[in-house]
Structure 1
Amino acid sequence: MNSLRELTRDAVLRFGPYAFHPGQRLILEGDRPLRMGGRALDILQVLVERAGDVVSKDELIARVWPTSVVEEINLRVHIAALRRALCDGQNGERYIVNIPQRGYSFIALVQRTLEDTPVFIDCVHSPQHNLPARLTPVTGRDSIVGSIVRQLPVRRFMTLVGPAGIGKTTVALRVAELLLQHYQDGVWLIDLASINDPSQVVDHLANTLQFDTDLTSRHALLVLDNCEHVLERCRTLVDDWLASAPRLSVLATSREPLLALDETVLRLPPLAVPPASALYSVAEAMGYPAVQLFVSRARARQQGFSLREQDLKAVRDICRRLDGLPLAIELAAAQIDALALVGLQAQLDNCFQLLTQGRRTAVPRHQTLEAALDWSYERLSPLEQMVLQHLAVFKMGFTLDAAIGVISCAVLPPMHLLAMVERLARKSLLSVEQVNGTPRYRFLNTTRAYALEKLESSGHLRALELSHAQYNRRARWISGVQLPAELIE
C-alpha cells in the first residue's frame, strides 16, 4: 500500500495543466502525480525558473550534474523524457524548445503562486529495475546509445550484435539506465548466459522479474543478454510478446541476430583507432575512443600514468592490433604496470598470450579473451569449428574463391564451405565487407590468434600453409602480374 506524504506550504510553478512543486520534487497534472526522474525534475526546475530565456547545454549540465562529468547524451535523453511526460507537442501545446547552437528554452507562460492548503498525494515510487551498478564510464558509445534510446520505445525490439568483447552488454546496460524513467513497470536485465537448456528460459525469466510473467499489460523494458545459445526460444518468446504486449519493449544482445519478426539489428562497431596522421598531438589522439579507453584503464591500474607524444605510436599500435575491441584493450591496459608500453606492445607479437591474461572480478566468460572466445567456439558444430580453424591460415582478408582454393576438400565441398563461411560471419566470428562488389572476409586479430592456436593443436597447420602458398602461386601465375598477397587472399 502506498504511503502518503504531506506537501507543506510552498511556492508552486503553474503552466498549462501542470503544477510544479519544486520543494517537494513533484509535478502534478490535476491531482495526478507525473512519473519523472530526479534529473528530469532538476532540468525542469532550471528551465521553468528561467522561462523565456535560452539556457545553454553547458549551463544545464553544470547545474544538474555539478560534481560529475557526463556525456551530452544524458541531457538529451532527460529532455526527451520531460517532453514525453508533459505531452509536449500534442494538442498544440509546446513547453521546451531546442534553440540550435544555443540551448533550450521553456516557452510556456509560467505563474508563480503560494499554496496555503497542504496537498496529499500518493508517493511516486523510484524506478523499478535490477540493473547492476556501473563502476566505470562508457567510452566512445554516445552516438549508438543515443540512437537506441530514441528508437527503442518506438521500434520496441532491437538486437545488438557483435563479436566477443565488443561491448554489447555495456551498451545495452547504458541504454537501460537512460530509459529507467520511461517505463512504468521497470527495466529488467535477464542474463541468459547461465542457461544451458532452452526450456529453462521461462523459469529464469519468472525468477528475475518482480511481477508475474503475464506481460500483456506491462509497460516495461526487458534486456535479454547473451541470447546466442538459446536463439530459437528467445525468438519464439519475443514474437509472442510483441504480438500480445503492446507496451513492452525488448533489447537483446547476441553474437548473431535472432531473426524474429520486426527485429531491428544493430551491429556494434569496434572503437575508432586514430590514423597515423594523429600521432603528432596527444589532444588529437585522445579524441579517438580506443585511445580514451586505453588511457582511462591504464590510469586506473598505474597511478600517475599520462599519455605523452612519444607514447602515441605504441598506444595506437596496441589499439590497432587489438582491432579497437574494448575487452581486449581493457585487458591489455591492465598489464601496463607489469610490462610498460614497450613490453605490452612487444607482447602483441604473441597475441594468443594476451588472450589468456584476465581479471578475476569479471563474469567467467569475460575474465579473459580466451574465455570469451571459448563461449562462441564451444557452441559451433564440429564442421564449423574445423572451418574456423582452417580459415585462420589467411593472415589478411580473403574472398570466397580464395577460401575454396585453399581449404576445400572432400569433407568440405565448395557449397558446404560457402555455407559455413556465411554462418561464421553471421555469428560474428568473421567480418565481411564489399570490395568492388565482391565480399571479402577477415578475422579480428584476436579471433585469428585463437583459431590459429586451435589449428596448430589439430596438427593441420603445416598442410594448410602449403595449400595457401600453392594457391597464391597459382593466382599470381594466372594474373600474370606480381600481386600483393593481401589482394590474392
Structure 2
Amino acid sequence: MNSLNDPHSEAVLQFGPYVFHLKQRLILDGDRPLRLGGRAMDVLQVLVEQAGAVVSKEQLIARVWPRTVVEDINLRVHIAALRRALGDGQNGQNYIVNIPQRGYSFVAQVQQLPAIGAVAVDDLPSPRHNLPTRLTQVVGRDALVGGLVRQMPLRQVMTLTGPCGVGKTTVALRVAEQLLQHYRQGVWRMDVALVDDPAQLSDHLLQTLELPLDTPLESLTEQHALLLIDNCEHLLEPCRNLIERLLIAMPRLSILATSREPLQAPGETVLHVPALAVPPASALRSVAEVMGYSAVQLFVSRAGACQQGFALREQDLETVRDICRRLDGLPLAIELAAAQIDALALKGLQSRLENCFEILIQGRRTAVPRHQTLKAALDWSYQRLSPLEQAVLQRLAVFKMSFTQEAAIAVISGERVPADSLLTVLENLAFKSLLSVDQSAGLPRYRFLNTTRTYALEKLADADDLPALEMRYAGYLSQTRRASGAAMALQLAE
C-alpha cells in the first residue's frame, strides 16, 4: 500500500462501509464525508496500511508526530476519536483493537479499490474555495477546531475574538479546511483588512465569491456556503450591516468571522480564542510532561524547523517555559521567537526578551504586514483606538500586576484622562482584547498581557509621561499600604 509519507498517493481503500481516498485525505460513509481531525486521519492511515498487524505505540507516535515529543495520552485521545467516528463496536463490527503491552491493530478487512471507478473521489464535485495553501502544521488547536467544526453547520454567525497574535485566523482557516466537503456552494474567505473604504465591502464580497459585481445579494437565496469574514475589527459596523443583509438574503449561509472584538451581529455566537497552554513551574519534571502543553509544542516544532537537530532537553525545560510564559502563550510571538533560535540559542533568546520587540522582528515574509512582526500586529490595534483610548492604554502600563477600576482612577486620571470617562474606556479596551478582565472575585480586575504592556510602556516612555506616572503609582501603593496595613500590601504584591 501507499505510504503515509507519500502525500500524492492515489490509493483508494475500502473497509466496512467506508472508502478512504488517501490523496484527498477523505473518508466517505456512502456519500457522506466523515469528519476527522488531521492527526486522527494520520493515525488511521498508519493502522490501515498495516491492517492485521500490531503497530506499537512508539511506531504510531514516530509516524504521526515525527518531530514532536508527545505523551501516550495524545495517541489514546485520537484512537478514541477514531473509534467513535467509525462506530467501532457497534453492530458487532470492530476496527481498532488494543493489544495489551504491544500496541494497536486494525482488524477489519481492507480492500484496495481502483482509483477510478464508481466510488472514486474524482467522480465527486471538487469543493470550491479560495483558501490559501497552509504551509505549516496547526499546533495545539485540535480540540478548539474540532468543536467549531461540529458547531458551524448549526450556527449562522460565529465570531472568534481575542488579542492580536493569538491565532484567530489560523483557527478559522483550519475549521474552513475541515468543512470543505460540507458546503455545496463552497467555502470562501474574505479578508476585510484589504478593504479601506466601507463602500467597497459588498464589491469585495462578490469578488471573493467569484461573481459579477452587478450580482444582487438577494439573488443568492439558495447558496449553501461557508463565508469566512477575516479581520473585521476596523470595519465593525459595515461588517455587521453586511452580515445582516446576507442572513436575510441567504438563509443557508454560515458565517465564521474573526475580530478583536465582537461584531454584535444578529444571532452571533462569540468564542474567545485562548492563548496556548504554558506549563506551570510544577510541571517541569520531565520532557514528556512539558511537551503536553501546547505553547511548548509550538515552540519546539517551529524551532526544529529553523535549526536542524533541535530537541528539547531536560536542562532546557525551565528556559523554554520562561520564554513561552513571557510571550503569554501567543502563537505569533512564539513563532517569531523560535525563528531566532539558530542565531541566539535558548539562553540568548531568553535574555533578550526583556524587550520582546527588539527580538521579535524577523517576520514571516508570506504573512500580511500586520502579522509579520509582533509590533506590527499591535500597531494595527493601537492605530484604531481613539486618542483617549490610546492615552489610557499607555498610562495603565505602569501597573505591573492586575488592578481595579478604583486603582486606575487614582493613578492615571487627570486632565488628559477624565475620571468620569475612564470606566467606559476600560470596558472598551477589554472589549477590544487589549486588556483581560477577571470577575471571579466579584470585583473586576484588569490586567495586561506581557507583550501588550511592553508595547504600551514604550508608547508611554515616548510621550515622556513615564516618570510622572511611576511616581503616582508608587504614591498610590504607599498610601494603600498605610491605609490598609501589611495585609493589603501583601495582597498587592501577590
Which TM bucket (shorter chain)? 0.7 to 0.9
Contact 1:61 1:75 in 2 (8 A): no
Tell me the TM-score normalized by structure 2: 0.79
Residue of structure 2 equivalent to 1:40: 27
1:487 & 1:120 partners in 2: Cα distance? 67
Residue 261 of structure 1 pairs with residue 266 of structure 2: yes
Note the alpha carbon deviations across 1:173-202, whole angstroms, 9 max, x for none: 000000000000000011111111111111
Among candidates 371, 384, 400, match of residue 395 of structure 1: 400
Residue of structure 1 equivalent to 2:10: none
Among candidates 193, 196, 216, match of residue 221 of structure 2: 216
2:49 & 2:335 partners in 1: Cα distance? 27
| 129-138 or 118-127, which deviates more | 118-127
CA shift in 2, pair 1:77/1:240, >3 Å: farther
Could you say what secondary structure the match of 1:327 adopts? helix
CA shift in 2, pair 1:440/1:65, >3 Å: farther
Residue 60 of structure 1 pairs with residue 65 of structure 2: no
Among candidates 279, 282, 293, match of residue 287 of structure 2: 282
Contact 2:127 2:186 in 1 (8 A): yes
Root-mean-square deviation (CA, aligned residues, Å) is 3.8
CA shift in 2, pair 1:97/1:14, >3 Å: closer
Note the alpha carbon deviations across 1:351-402, whole angstroms, 9 max, x for none: 2323444333322111110000000001111111111100011111111111
1:120 & 1:43 partners in 2: Cα distance? 9
CA shift in 2, pair 1:464/1:59, >3 Å: closer
Could you say what secondary structure the match of 1:41 adopts? strand
Could you say what secondary structure the match of 1:250 adopts? strand
Contact 1:226 1:254 in 2 (8 A): yes
1:283 & 1:270 partners in 2: Cα distance? 21
- In the TM superposition, residue 289 of structure 1 has moved relative to its aligned partner by 0.4
Could you say what secondary structure the match of 1:193 adopts? helix
2:49 & 2:267 partners in 1: Cα distance? 37
Percentage of pairs with the same residue: 60
> Structure 2: which amino acid aligns with 1:318?
I
Residue of structure 2 equivalent to 1:415: 420
Residue of structure 1 equivalent to 2:37: none
- In the TM superposition, residue 82 of structure 1 has moved relative to its aligned partner by 9.5
> Structure 1: which amino acid aligns with 2:333?
A
Residue of structure 2 equivalent to 1:149: 149
Contact 1:357 1:368 in 2 (8 A): yes
Within 5 A, what are the aligned runs for 1:118-129? 123-129=123-129
- In the TM superposition, residue 438 of structure 1 has moved relative to its aligned partner by 1.0
Structure 1 spans left out of the alignment, 5+ residues:
1-11, 26-36, 48-55, 84-93, 113-117
Among candidates 316, 339, 348, match of residue 344 of structure 2: 339
1:283 & 1:453 partners in 2: Cα distance? 38
1:315 & 1:292 partners in 2: Cα distance? 10
Could you say what secondary structure the match of 1:323 adopts? coil
2:433 & 2:341 partners in 1: Cα distance? 29
- In the TM superposition, residue 478 of structure 1 has moved relative to its aligned partner by 1.1
Residue of structure 1 equivalent to 2:179: 179
- In the TM superposition, residue 100 of structure 1 has moved relative to its aligned partner by 12
Higher Cα radius of gyration: 1
CA shift in 2, pair 1:57/1:356, >3 Å: closer
Contact 1:39 1:78 in 2 (8 A): no
Within 5 A, what are the aligned runs for 1:63-82? 63=47, 69=64
2:401 & 2:292 partners in 1: Cα distance? 28
2:43 & 2:418 partners in 1: Cα distance? 65
Could you say what secondary structure the match of 2:292 adopts? coil
Contact 1:356 1:368 in 2 (8 A): yes
1:422 & 1:377 partners in 2: Cα distance? 16
| Count of matched residue positions in the alignment of Structure 1 and Structure 2 | 435
Contact 1:299 1:306 in 2 (8 A): yes
| 205-214 or 177-186, which deviates more | 205-214
> Structure 2: which amino acid aligns with 1:275?
P
1:387 & 1:120 partners in 2: Cα distance? 62
Within 5 A, what are the aligned runs for 1:76-475? 123-211=123-211, 213=217, 214-475=219-480
- In the TM superposition, residue 63 of structure 1 has moved relative to its aligned partner by 4.9
1:65 & 1:239 partners in 2: Cα distance? 48
Could you say what secondary structure the match of 1:165 adopts? coil
> Structure 2: which amino acid aligns with 1:452?
L
CA shift in 2, pair 1:38/1:141, >3 Å: closer
Contact 1:472 1:488 in 2 (8 A): no
Contact 2:480 2:489 in 1 (8 A): no
Tell me the TM-score normalized by structure 1: 0.79
2:25 & 2:336 partners in 1: Cα distance? 35
- In the TM superposition, residue 210 of structure 1 has moved relative to its aligned partner by 2.4
Contact 1:81 1:182 in 2 (8 A): no
> Structure 2: which amino acid aligns with 1:60?
L
2:408 & 2:181 partners in 1: Cα distance? 50
1:215 & 1:78 partners in 2: Cα distance? 37
Structure 2 spans left out of the alignment, 5+ residues:
1-13, 35-39, 51-59, 66-73, 99-103, 112-116
- In the TM superposition, residue 344 of structure 1 has moved relative to its aligned partner by 0.5
